Amino acid sequence: MYNFTFHRPTTVRQAAGLLARNPEGKLLAGGHSLIPVMKQRLASPTAIIDLSQVEGMAGVEQKGRSIVIGAMTRHADVANSTVLQQALPGLAAVPGAIGDPQVRNRGTIGGSIANNDPNADYPAACLGLGATIITNKRRIAADDFFTGMFSTALEDGEIITKVSFPIAKKAAYEKFKHPASGFALVGVFVSKRGSDIRVAVTGAGANGVFRVKSFEEALKKRFAAKSLDGLSIPATGMNSDIHASPEYRAHLVSVLARRAVAKATA
Amino acid sequence: MPAVSMTVNGKPVTGDVEARTLLVQFLRENLRLTGTHVGCDTSQCGACVVHVDGIAAKSCTLLALQCEGAKIITIEGLAEPGGALHPMQEAFRENHGLQCGYCTPGMIMAALDIVRRRGNDLDEHTIREQLDGNICRCTGYHNIVKAIAAGAKAMAKGGARQAAE
């Protein structure tokens, strides 16, 4: 790991100021993606701005018909939130599938979303529920936020402070874990909130998380696993690596979508 | 170099470190607490697990400076000053929960975190699932699982102090 200067702001404004003064700097949330890539020298920020001392950035609360999660809320705390388990159990189940217990004790929702790893779980939950990503500057719809592998709509100096999830009546996540890494080989998040039906897929797409409009249309007629019978998606645009071929990933998308709908309607 | 101060096993410590110094390096190289091991150095094996403010974390994936002001407990902080082992350590010895011993400090620190989260009555499935972040290449895990179940029970019986306090 290359060396850097280390900063611990106590307000979002201070953190934004530090980012502006350090254009090659990086925000540090839980650090469980950033520190490993810095060790591999795949990232070499000149400044690290640790958000852990910024007040009011962690916590899960219900606000009207939404669940609002602070960006620095750790995976373990999201998973254990009784408010979330009651209001939106499909989302509460997502962080429990990330990494291992020690990773979940440190990793955060804001860090995961900002990193937008193509195999990460939270991007599927955000897109699959139609979440709003709230930053120090604006509110960004999940549909506009994830712009490609490891890239987002975040601008220079922009800091995620909260994520707001509308409470969907039906929602569930199904993940096919890579047996060694635990990352999603494919993960599918489905939800139904009134006439808004969403099917979001992580792990499979060469450009990161995406929605499957053809599945959503089929589920609009009837939100049941059976509605997806005979439907599949083409292998073009699927990720290809040593773990799985594009065809296999495309196959998993339809299998997991059916399972997720079955789970959401159980 | 930036200065860092924290409490390690109940003792206040300070040191001057490069910003890139990992917590595990600070513990091993500055404080000479070599019970915390580095196995993979890629956040996977769990040999480096310590408690940060009472919660298990992989010390190879934390900067020392992130722990400014924190209370750290390492494997060296578990046994009584007189030498009596912590019930979880004793359970690993009783159940032959180790062979080469390299993963053991991390296993024991992770085991105490399982007790913190899941209580003292742990079934085999829970233990195996919760050991997801700790790798052992000798034992096949069988005796580790037995040791953790026994250690968790012994902690309840003895009213043993929780490691993280």
Residue B68, chain A, CB below 8 Å: the answer is yes
- Superfamily, domain B3-77: Beta-grasp domain (3.10.20.30)
Q: What is the pLDDT of residue B58?
A: 98
Q: In which region does residue B22 sit, left (phi positive, over 0), alpha (psi from -120 to 50) or beta (all else)?
A: beta
- Locate the chain B residue with the closest alpha carbon to A45: B20
What is the tens place of the pLDDT at every residue in A109-165? 999 999 999 999 999 999 999 999 999 999 999 999 999 999 999 999 999 999 999
Angle at A143 between CA A188 and CA A57, to 5 degrees: 90
Whether B13 has a pLDDT exceeding 60, the answer reads yes
Q: Which of residues 5-24 of B touch A (CB under 8 A)?
A: 18-20, 22
* A60-265: CATH architecture: 2-Layer Sandwich (3.30)
* A5-53: CATH architecture: 2-Layer Sandwich (3.30)
Which amino acid makes up residue A50? D
ipTM above 0.85, yes or no: yes
Q: Which of residues 13-42 of A touch B (CB under 8 A)?
A: 28, 31-32, 35-36, 38-39
What is the rounded distance in angstroms from the CA atom of residue A205 to the CA atom of residue A208? 5
What is the tens place of the pLDDT at every residue in B83-110? 899 999 999 999 999 999 999 999 999 9
Domain boundaries, chain B: 3-77, 87-158
What is the tens place of the pLDDT at every residue in B110-138? 999 999 999 999 999 999 999 999 999 99
B87-158 fold: DNA polymerase; domain 1 (1.10.150)
Outline where DSSP puts E strands in chain A.
Answer: 5-7, 25-28, 47-50, 60-63, 66-70, 132-135, 139-141, 146-148, 151-152, 160-166, 170-177, 184-193, 196-202, 210-211
Domain boundaries, chain A: 5-53, 60-265
Residues of B in contact with A182 (CB under 8 A): 132
Whether B75 has a pLDDT exceeding 60, the answer reads yes
